[in-house]
Amino acid sequence: MRATGPQPVAAGRPRQPGRWAWLPMEAVADRLEAEIDHLTTAITALLRQQLGPYGELRLRQIVPGVATSVRFGIVALRQRRLATDEETEQLATVAETRAEQGLPVEALLQAYRLGTHLVWERGRQLAEADAVDPSVLLEAAELVWQWSEQVTARAAATHRRAELALARHDQQYRTELLRAAVLGTLPVPTLRQQAPIHGLDPDRPYQAVRAAGGVVPLHAVERALVDAAGGEVLAGVIESDLVGLVPAGLEQRHLAGLGTTVGVGPLVPLASVPHSFAVASQVLRTAVGFGRRGVFDLGSLGPLVAVASQAELGEELARRYLGPLAAGRNEGRPLRQSVEQYLAAGLHVEESARALFVHPNTVRYRLRRFEAVTGARLDRVEDLVGIWWALAWQQLRHGGPGTPEPAPDPGPPPP
């Protein structure tokens, strides 16, 4: 524990000999203590008048902390010392309370400056009226402002720690609310009641957004999501992905340059956001599975979403249309590549040949061989759809020619 007896104020500065030289300042401290209620009232009024955040608090929320600070300052002046550990600890509790009250640290520091100035001005007036020696008065002034710097440094550190803890708690609460909202575990009346607390209008439609984590920092994704939505966004990390609820008017171009994959659900009433989240998750899984990066919704991925969600059908179509190619070994791969490119080129042989660097007749031959080996007909819509589906499914499950490097798999939606 810090000693409570007289302490040097500044190294190397001559001190007045003994306690007797300080007796006039002890008398000033006694008179200040007699006026402590008046000083507390005056400081409180000054803070409420000059510092906006204090003006939003009730008197009973301000007065106890101000009174404690004034009393400790006067005691330190009387005893010719700085604050003890016990005093700074109590004043740190006041700073923590200010953080919980929502006051910014700048307002807290300014409050200490204003309060210290008011008390010292009154102390100086009393000291001059008693003709206190100027050297003693100068030492007292230095002591008062050193005391102020000491306690404000501790108060600021405590306030910042409290702010961080409150922010973490608030984010955790927001994330839990978001999780309950998108998973449908929160009753609709409760959701509508809690929504305005977090800036959501319960009467507006929202869409769920889910961005794959592990590619870019999620805080960057969240910042871009806020910019893209042009307003308040309820966002948090769920299952290692960034999930958000955004109102109408999402500007997808703000998210397109992030270098990650984002799934967007439909715009729905707040009560239906679990459906929007399920769609966003499905879209994200599909886009990641096919190695796509960017912003996607059901419309932009089209039937690929169906391919990704129908595993049994995909396996059956792959067996039907691609399985026979395995028996051909050497010719199986070029046949598959030619058919795949033929579909990608919009059923144009010449364009397919240019992409494959072969003669158009070679492509025609391979297409006829594919039909002969599989029994499929490339002029029949049902077979074209089945072949495309089988190729897409095999690319999704096993990778295939031209498969881009996939983004991290976000996995299934939370249970």
As a dihedral over the C-alpha atoms of residue 269, residue 274, residue 276, residue 279, rounded to 10 degrees, the angle is -160
Question: Is residue 239 included in any domain, yes or no?
Answer: yes
Question: Is residue 403 included in any domain, yes or no?
Answer: no
Which long-range contacts link 53-61 to residues 24+ away (Cβ below 8 Å)? 53/102, 53/103, 53/104, 53/107, 54/103, 54/107, 54/111, 57/101, 57/103, 61/101
Cα dist from 247 to 302, 325, 379, whole Å: 23, 49, 46
The residues pairing with 355 across neighbouring beta strands, listed in sequence order, are none
**Amino acid 7: pLDDT:** 46
Examine the fold and report which residue of 278, 306, 334 is the final residue of a domain before the chain moves on.
306
Strands (E), 73-158: none
pLDDT digits (tens, 9 = 90+) for 245-295: 888 777 777 777 777 888 999 999 988 999 999 999 999 999 998 988 888
**Amino acid 214: pLDDT:** 66
Q: Can you tell me the distance from the alpha carbon of 415 to that of 412, in angstroms, rounded to the nearest whole number?
A: 8
Domain count, the chain: 3
Provide DSSP, 63-89. Answer: HHHHHHHHHHHHHHHHTTS---HHHHH
Instruction: Name residues of the chain where pLDDT drops below 70.
Output: 1-18, 214-215, 230-231, 328-329, 399-415
CA nearest to 293, candidates 263, 267, 250, 251: 263
**Which residue range forms the structural domain that includes residue 68?**
20-167
Question: Is residue 412 included in any domain, yes or no?
Answer: no
pLDDT digits (tens, 9 = 90+) for 353-365: 999 999 999 999 9
**Amino acid 43: pLDDT:** 96
pLDDT digits (tens, 9 = 90+) for 110-122: 999 999 999 999 9
Sign (positive or negative) of CA dihedral 82, 84, 90, 92: positive
pLDDT digits (tens, 9 = 90+) for 14-27: 444 457 889 999 99
Question: Is residue 252 included in any domain, yes or no?
Answer: yes
Q: Can you tell me the distance from the alpha carbon of 98 to that of 165, in angstroms, rounded to the nearest whole number?
A: 13
Question: Is 377 exposed, middle or buried, given 0-12, 13-18 or 19+ CB atoms closer than 10 A?
Answer: exposed
Residues 46-70 as b or e (16 or more Cβ within 10 Å = b)? bbbeebebbeebeeeebbebbbbbb
Provide DSSP, 162-179. Answer: HHHHHHHHHHHHHHHHHH
Q: Can you tell me the distance from the alpha carbon of 334 to that of 255, in angstroms, rounded to the nearest whole number?
A: 38
CATH at 361 = 1.10.10.2840
Is residue 254 domain-shared with residue 364, that is, in the same domain? no
Is residue 39 domain-shared with residue 141, that is, in the same domain? yes
Question: Is residue 122 included in any domain, yes or no?
Answer: yes
CB atoms within 10 A of CB 142: 13
Is residue 301 domain-shared with residue 315, that is, in the same domain? no
CATH at 276 = 3.30.70.2730
